[in-house]
Amino acid sequence: MTVAGVLDVVLRLVLVVGAFLLLPLLVGQLEHKAMAHMQSRVGPMYAGGFHGWAQLVADGVKFVQKEHVVPTAADRTVFSLAPAVALLPYLLVLAAVPVGPGLVAVDLPAGLFFALAVLSVSVLGSIMAGWSSANKYALLGGMRTAAQLLAYELPLVLAGSSVVMAAGTLSLSGIVLAWRPWWLVWQAAAAVVFFVSGLAELARPPFDMPLADSEIVLGPLTEYTGLRFALFMLAEYAGIVVLCALTAVLFLGGWRGPFGDASLGPIWLLAKIFLLAFVVIWVRVSTPRLRSDQLQRLAWLVLVPMSLGQLALTGVVKVVTS
Amino acid sequence: MTGAELVFVPLGAVALGSSVLVVTTDQLVRAALWLVVALGALAGCFLLLAAELVAWVQVLIYVGAVVVLLLFGIMLTRAPIGRSVDLDSGNRVAALVVALGTAGTLVTVVVGGFRTASIDLGDGSAGSAGTVGAGLFRYWVLPFELLSVLLLAALVGAIVLSRRDIGPRARDGGED
Amino acid sequence: MHVVYPVVLAALLFSVGVYGVLARRNAILVLMSVELMLNAVNLNLVTFDAWLKDTLASGQALTLFVIAIAAAEVGLGLAIVLLVFRNRSSIAVDQLRDLADRDAPSAVPGETVAEREAAR
Amino acid sequence: MTAALAVPVVLAPFLAAAVGLPLGRRLPPGIVAIAGTAVSAVLAIAVAVSSRPAETLARLTPTGGIAVTVGVRVGGLSATVAVMVTLVALAVQVYSVGYLRGDPRYPSYAALVSLFTAAMLTVVLSADLLLTYAGWEVMGVCSYFLIGHHWERPAASSAAVKSFLMTRFGDVGFLFGVFVLGTAAGSFRITDVLAAVPTMSHTTVLAAALLMVVGVVGKSAQFPLHSWLPDAMAGPAPVSALIHAATMVAAGVYLVALLFPVFLAAPLALDVLAVLAVVSMLGAALAAFASADLKRVLAYSTISQLSLMFAALAVGGRTAAIAHLVSHAAFKALLFLCAGAVITAVGGGLLTDLGGLRRAMPVTFATMTVGFAALAGFPPTSGFFSKDLVVAAAGHAASGEAALVTVAVAWLVAVAVLLTAGVTAAYATRAWLLTFFGTERPAREAGPVLTGPLLALAAPALLLGLAALRWPELRPEWGSALASVAVVVLGAGVVLARWRAAPGRDPADLLGRARPLLASAWHTDDLYERTVARAVTGLAERVVAVDDRVVGRAVTGSGRNAGRLGGLIRLSQNGNPQLYLTGLLAGVLLIAVGVVVLA
């Protein structure tokens, strides 16, 4: 390995970490402002001047300053590790997302599998947090997380498999290269299933049964304060970024845009990510929370059959066109 | 020692150490978490052996599904936080003897048998999705299909076992 | 890379799994130990697949099969464990003794039948 | 023709037994048994009338050794005895209907009597020694059951066991005698055996004859195996009549008569037989005189009279013996049935409890008087003639005319026979006096079912001797007749004189201090008790102890140890699956290590 090669890798990783630190904050800010406007409330407008842009930074500073509280009965080690376990997988996934032709931190042949596998690990963070808090709300939240994960993992993987079949490769870069605009129609069902299942895995509204602040306070996060709570929030926004990035890459052509050359790739991808993030926020604001039985019903009676139908459609089209 | 070996040995140590912790820790949930570590380290070992697809499947299925299921089960059976005094049965000594005997025998045999054998990893394409997929669907189709039937049977079985409105009534209420 | 490293690791993992299966009381821990043993086997399969450069990819294919079967096994196993827990409020393997010779004066030395029945 | 008639003679009572046992309770009492015996009697008379020797044989499954055959053999001797057996059995069956009225066990009793009769007829008519032996044994079993008819009484059950054991002891001798004869002759057919006697070695014949004597002594209750017969009185009176008169004891005499050629070839056996007969004859007669019980008197008299027959046989008077057997059957059956009637009327058989029944029971008195007269040998009863034949035979032997036995033994026999005749007259008179004379006591004559057989048997007891005058060889000789009549009158006269002198007192007091000794039959029972019985009991106790301490403890100990060992192994079966799995894996490990090390 040459020095240039090492430098190349290091540079890419630094870029990824930078994006990882920046993008979730942007999404968070977007959520704050979009929600505020949608719900016709102004929200903080002073921090940093324009539209209170520094409010999120101020929140972060506030979190850092807050006291670390660990419940007496809690499993201290697991309690402390949980935010890291929840956050780190998203960083790893981000490293595998191609942002332009050849512009990817780590190009894995089985990239999609890697992404899905690592994503599923992050759920462990919630479960760990829920169990180790020694709080019944937290425990209930942890168990809801586990149940939700098990239910939505299947349609998620099946929808991803549909794209993989269409593209004939597991590599994320390969999928982007194989993508054609008419896939928007062909893989529409898979896209919906993937996106919805992803939302559920992230426990974003309307699938936020595990958090459900009106029922079980804040689920696994109930006992968390200060920086650790901030890390969980960061993990949530990082999750949104990763989900949107994966959806964009798999179903929306990733860095490919309707015009402009390949050098505009990162721009196109970012645009798609933020568009999808806006949809996530929009859905959160506009839909009520599902009950747990509705949640399971949606997964097993709608999403799984839909993804299976999509898989069959993909197979048929694939055979016909080849 | 090659580079791969240099990485493999610590990974293996992690896998072995955490698996020992899985069977010795006196905290149930931590056993499951150590199992995650052990399985992750093993996935790394698979990667080093050029079995990429297997490694990711390992993480996806084992860490993402199996361990979550196990944790789910642990929580449903009301595991306590902290130490449990009774995680080990009275069978420990015999188990230790048998396990050490197994380890001794197996290590002796495999070291004797494979002392000089060496793996040539080649271009690393042996474990790619394409190769494995081709092998799977070209030569292993029948077992693959059988496996799907097995999974279906397991699915049905699990549903029958856990639903209370099917099959014989439970004798006492018990859990929620 | 030497074959010995992964193979020895697999042997040791298997033994650890054996210990866990034999020494652990909690049925879920026993299931975990079984997973360890299965993984040891997987490691062997992958190792020999790489060593032999099998054209059928049998080692890795079988590993995938084992992983799938393990998932099914854990699903069913947990269903059974939960059922047992529901019926007996205990999943201690060494207390589930319906296989015992019922008329035995004392299965465990120093333990009376009444105690054993109470423990059940 | 004769043989064809003879087969149903045996089968009819047998069938009666087979039918009567299961169906006896549903049919009117005794009908099957009486019918079977009657058919048998009619046929036996027909056979006797046709009176031609005949034989029919069927071979059984080949057994490899000497062939065993089944068949009947009719001769003059067997035809006569068969008629006697069937007629007495018929009388007994009829009598039993009345005697055992209301007895719940009557059906099985009647069936057993039928079987008893069939067995005796088998002995009499069999053409094969082994078949004879079979009948011989069946008789033993039947006597066991019949003597123990009132098994709830200790005396009856112990008497049954005693008779069974003592006759069994003799049967062993008989069986081995049969084996010796059969192997020596190469056949068990009686005809063949008798024909082969001259060719046999002297030792063989002697051994066979002595073994036969053992068997006969047991069956016919001769000294020293006599003591079961008086005890057998515990059975019902008709059974006693049957045993004493027609079956069982008669079988011994019949067998010696049948196999007489064998004894002729072995004079030493005849000597032994003669000595035993003399001892039995006198001893039993004296015991009868001292005995306090009517039936025991009759029992001892049976022993004595049988000895008389054996004595006759020993001195060569085969015809005399058979004649006495037949007449004895008639009057002894009569006497026993009369005794049964008396016991039924009074409720007990002790002579001291009897007396004065002459008026109350005229029929019984008359018939029993005939019986006693015949027993004592008063002319012109049948007993007189037949006994006279015996006396004559003994006299001939003593004078050396037909020297079968040594002259000394012949003299001994002659003297003993005469003495016995005197004592017999004495005890017959005593019993007659004590039963029917003296203080009167209230009693009722028995019904016609009982008295009928009495009358029917009194006729031959009285007239058989006169009827036999047809045959020259059965006519009495004047010398011996005079001697015996003199002795008889003397014996009876002494007792009568004593009775006259002291009415109501037991004439047995004449014996003075010897009476208890004689009443207990010379203490033979005590002797057996002290020697044989005690030795056997001691041995049995030791065997029981060994069985208990060694065999029993070994069995229970091995069971207990197996249980303990099983308990140890059970400990592993505690239901803990981990333990099972540990064992399994340890085993696998051992095998694997073994393979690695050894391969």
Distance CA B77, CA B29 (A): 12
**CB-closest option in D571, D577, D582 to C99:** D577
Give the Cα separation of D391 and D478 in Å (integer): 11
Q: What is the pLDDT of residue C102?
A: 65
pLDDT band at D521 (very low <50, low <70, confident <90, very high): low
Query: Given this model, what pLDDT does residue C107 score?
Result: 43
* Contact call for D596 and B105, based on CB within 8 A: yes
- Mean pLDDT for the stretch of residues B138-160: 87
> In which band, very low, low, confident or very high, does the pLDDT at D140 lie, cut at 50, 70 and 90?
confident
Structure-block tokens of residue C46? 């992958």
In A, minimum Cα distance to B75 occurs at A143
| Beta carbons within 8 Å of D168's beta carbon, 6+ residues apart | D140, D218
> Using an 8 Å Cβ cutoff, are A114 and B61 in contact?
no
Ranges of H-type helices in D437-533: 448-467, 478-501, 515-519, 524-528
What single-letter amino acid sits at D440? E
Predicted confidence at residue B168, as pLDDT, reads 57
Q: What is the 3-state secondary structure (H, E, C) of D392-406?
A: HHHHHHHCCCCCCCC
In a 3-state reduction of DSSP, which class is residue D189? Answer: strand
Distance CA D568, CA B15 (A): 42
Q: What are the φ/ψ torsions at residue D360 (nearest 5 degrees)?
A: -70, -35
Contact D582 B95 (CB under 8 A): yes
- Residue B173 scores a pLDDT above 50: no
Q: Indicate which of B11, B19, B26 best probes the interface with C, i.e. most C CBs within 10 Å of its own CB.
A: B19
Cα angle: D447, vertex D450, D454; to 5 degrees: 125
Distance CA D196, CA A190 (A): 119
The rounded mean pLDDT for chain D is 79
Q: With a cut of 70, say whether residue B95 has pLDDT above it.
A: yes
Which residues, 6 or more positions from D321, have their beta carbon under 8 angstroms from its beta carbon? Answer: D253, D256, D257, D309, D310, D312, D313, D390
Q: Which residue has the higher pLDDT, D523 or D205?
A: D205
B40, D186, D189, D262, D269 from D199: Cα distances, Å: 111, 12, 16, 11, 18
Total domains in the fold of chain A: 1
Cβ-Cβ contacts under 8 Å for D211 (sequence gap 6 or more): D173, D174, D176, D177, D180
- By the 8 A CB rule, do C23 and B88 touch? yes
pLDDT higher than 70, residue B127: no
Is B33 within 8 Å of A132 when comparing Cβ atoms?
no
CATH class belonging to C4-89: mainly alpha
Is residue B137 scored above 60 in pLDDT?
yes
- Report pLDDT for B169: 55
Half-sphere exposure of residue B18: CA atoms within 13 angstroms, side-chain side:
20
Of D576, D589, D596, the CB nearest to B98: D589
**Between residues B128 and A312, the one the model is more confident about:** A312
Domains of chain B, by residue range, sit at: 1-84, 125-167
Tell how strand D54-59 and strand D69-74 pair up.
antiparallel
Closest to D227 (Cα-Cα) out of D176, D175, D172, D300: D300
- The CATH class given to the B1-84 domain equals mainly alpha
Query: How close does chain B come to A103, measured CA to CA in Å?
Result: 22
Inter-chain residue contact C92 with B96, CB threshold 8 Å: no
- pLDDT: which is higher, A286 or C102: A286
- Which partners does chain C have (≥3 C-beta pairs < 8 Å)? B, D
What tens digit of pLDDT does each residue of D399-440 get? 766 556 677 777 888 888 888 888 888 888 887 877 777 777
Q: D275 is written with which tokens?
A: 């000595």
Q: Which long-range contacts (CB under 8 A, 24 or more apart) does B76-79 make?
A: B76/A143, B76/B175, B76/C82, B76/C85, B77/C28, B77/C81, B77/C82, B77/C85, B77/C91, B79/B28, B79/B29
Helix, strand or coil, per DSSP, at residue D59:
strand
Q: Are D82 and D124 in contact (CB under 8 A)?
A: yes
Q: Where are the domains of chain D?
A: 266-519, 523-553
pLDDT-derived band at C87, boundaries 50, 70, 90:
confident
Confidence of residue B166 (pLDDT cuts 50, 70, 90): low
% of chain D surpassing 90 pLDDT: 0
The confidence score (pLDDT) of residue B176 equals: 43
Q: Who contacts D550 (Cβ-Cβ below 8 Å, separation ≥6)?
A: none
How close, in Å, is residue A185 to chain B by CA atoms? Answer: 27
CA–CA dist A314, A305 (Å, integer): 14
Low-confidence ranges of chain A (pLDDT < 70): 1, 103, 105, 260
Helices (H) and strands (E) in chain C, counts: 4, 0
Question: What confidence score (pLDDT) does residue C101 get?
Answer: 65
Q: Cα(D441)–Cα(D389) distance, rounded to whole angstroms?
A: 40
Tokens of residue A249, six digits: 């890459």
Q: How far is D592 from chain B (nearest CA, A)?
A: 8
Chains that touch B (3 or more CB pairs under 8 A): A, C, D
Q: What is the ipTM of this complex?
A: 0.73
User: What is the predicted pLDDT for the residue at C108?
Assistant: 47
Confidence band of D364 (pLDDT split at 50, 70, 90):
confident
Mean pLDDT for B2-17 is: 86
How near does any CA of chain C get to the CA of D22, in Å?
A: 48
Tell me, what's the pLDDT at C109?
47
- D567 CA to chain C: closest CA distance, Å? 7
pLDDT surpassing 80 at residue D547: yes
- Comparing D481 with A310, the larger pLDDT belongs to A310
Q: Which structure tokens are listed for D17?
A: 């037994």
Q: Considering only CA atoms, which of D125, D124, D120, D132 is closest in space to residue D175?
A: D132
pLDDT of residue A90: 85
The candidate with the shortest Cα–Cα distance to D242, out of D414, D462, D89, is D89
Long-range contacts of D507-510 (CB under 8 A, 24+ apart): D507/D426, D507/D429, D507/D430, D507/D433, D507/D434, D508/D289, D508/D290, D508/D430
- Measured between alpha carbons, how far is residue A169 from residues A322, B65, C66, D15, D284 in Å? 15, 24, 24, 104, 127
Distance CA B1, CA B4 (A): 8
| B56 at interface of A, judged by CB pairs closer than 8 A | yes
Under 8 Å between Cβ of A161 and B60: no
> What residues of chain C lie within 8 A of the CB of D567, using their CB?
104-105
Q: What is the pLDDT of residues B102-118, one digit of tens each?
A: 888 888 888 888 888 78
Domain assignment of residue A177, given as a range: 3-321
Give the Cα separation of A211 and A145 in Å (integer).
Answer: 9
Structure tokens that stand for B14 in this block: 């992690």
State residue B111's pLDDT score. 86
**pLDDT at residue D347 tops 50:** yes
Beta carbons of D578 and C107 less than 8 Å apart: no
Task: Dig out the tokens for D484 from the structure.
Answer: 């015996």
Q: How many CB atoms lie within 10 A of CB D18?
A: 17
pLDDT digits (tens, 9 = 90+) for B63-75: 878 888 888 888 7
Written as six digits, the tokens of A25 are 């904050």
Residue range(s) in chain C whose domain bears CATH number 1.10.287.3510: 4-89
Smallest Cβ–Cβ distance between D574 and the set C23, C93, C108 belongs to: C108
